[in-house]
Homo-oligomer: A and B are copies of this chain.
Amino acid sequence: MDAGSRIEQALLAAVAHADAPGNPPLLASAMRHAVFPRGARIRPRLCLAVASACGEDEPTLSDAAAAAIELLHCASLVHDDLPCFDNAATRRGRSSVHKAFGEPLAVLTGDALIVLAFQILGQVAAPLERIGIISVAVSRSVGVPSGIVAGQAWECEPSVDLAHYHRAKTGALFAAAAIAGAAAAGSDAEPWRKFGELLGESYQVADDLRDSAGDEEAIGKPTGQDAPLGRPNAVAEFGIEGAIHRLHTLVAESIEAMPTCQGAPMLRALMQSEVKRLVPKKLAQFAA
């Protein structure tokens, strides 16, 4: 089965927990709305790609790790869209969860998806030591002091360092995806942190480029939001050309940081095709 299908299947199995008797049906619908239909699934694809590059031998565990990471990403989107943050009416081209189900269910959907991520990791039949490494990496990437939640909380501070903000808000979960993939395959996981962090930072720069280019269709959410919200943004800091340059530098650095593994050539090729996909077409002229 290809990576995309494995991820969707693992996510379907995870969200099916909400269909068990006793679960409030609206919460189940809201969770499904938050996770499907598919987004880019870039983090779980990274997780599976690293697992494969490291000689994957416990695919059930890689699938659970990939799904857990995507559930946490979806949870962060649901909470980021809330009226007290972005107040976004749309996400992935349709209603955000709070627009479709109301604010209370949107708060609870985010909470339920966070918990579900740890629930599926705890329940997978796989070597306990690997599960432990993945759980710790995943929790660190979402919590304090430098996970997604901490990253988002920097927006509530009077001043913020751009690199630090991006590392926490995006880099951390990319790092966890890489670490989890390596750990699922039984490889030494920690050397994959730097690789994932750099990839995450590059992805955030690409996202900023798409935001300022107004590439609403590709990005599936309202664009041009960062400047009016006074939010840290690489284009605001470096200009468009500077941001594109930074994106390419970060990808080159992440390729350099990749630990030795049997699937290194495949992984490098994947990254190079991703970076092309991520730069908005109307900005491609700037990419020297």
Task: Show the binding face of A for B, using Cβ within 8 Å.
Answer: 17-28, 31, 75, 79, 82, 84-85, 101-105, 107-108, 110-112, 114-116, 118-119, 121-123, 128-129, 131-132, 135-136, 139-140, 142-147, 149-150, 152-157, 164, 168
User: Do B147 and A115 touch across chains, with their CB atoms under 8 A apart?
Assistant: yes
Q: 25 A-B contacts, Cβ less than 8 Å apart?
A: A17-B145, A19-B145, A20-B144, A22-B145, A23-B150, A24-B156, A26-B153, A27-B149, A27-B150, A79-B111, A85-B107, A104-B155, A105-B156, A108-B156, A112-B153, A114-B115, A115-B149, A116-B139, A116-B143, A116-B144, A122-B135, A122-B136, A123-B136, A128-B129, A131-B132
User: Do B22 and A164 touch across chains, with their CB atoms under 8 A apart?
Assistant: yes
How many Å lie between the Cα of A140 and that of B122 in the bound state? 10
CB distance from A137 to the nearest CB of B (A): 9
Q: Kindly report which residue of chain B lies nearest to residue A150, judged by CB atoms.
A: B23
User: Do A154 and B103 touch across chains, with their CB atoms under 8 A apart?
Assistant: no
A150 with B114, Cβ < 8 A, contacts A79-B107, A122-B135 known: no
How many Å lie between the Cα of A139 and that of B121 in the bound state? 10
Q: Kindly report which residue of chain B lies nearest to residue A104, judged by CB atoms.
A: B84
User: Do A27 and B144 touch across chains, with their CB atoms under 8 A apart?
Assistant: yes
In addition to A110-B111, A112-B153, 16 A-B residue pairs with Cβ atoms within 8 Å of each other are A22-B146, A22-B150, A24-B150, A27-B144, A28-B144, A79-B107, A102-B156, A104-B153, A108-B149, A108-B152, A115-B147, A116-B144, A118-B118, A119-B140, A128-B129, A135-B135
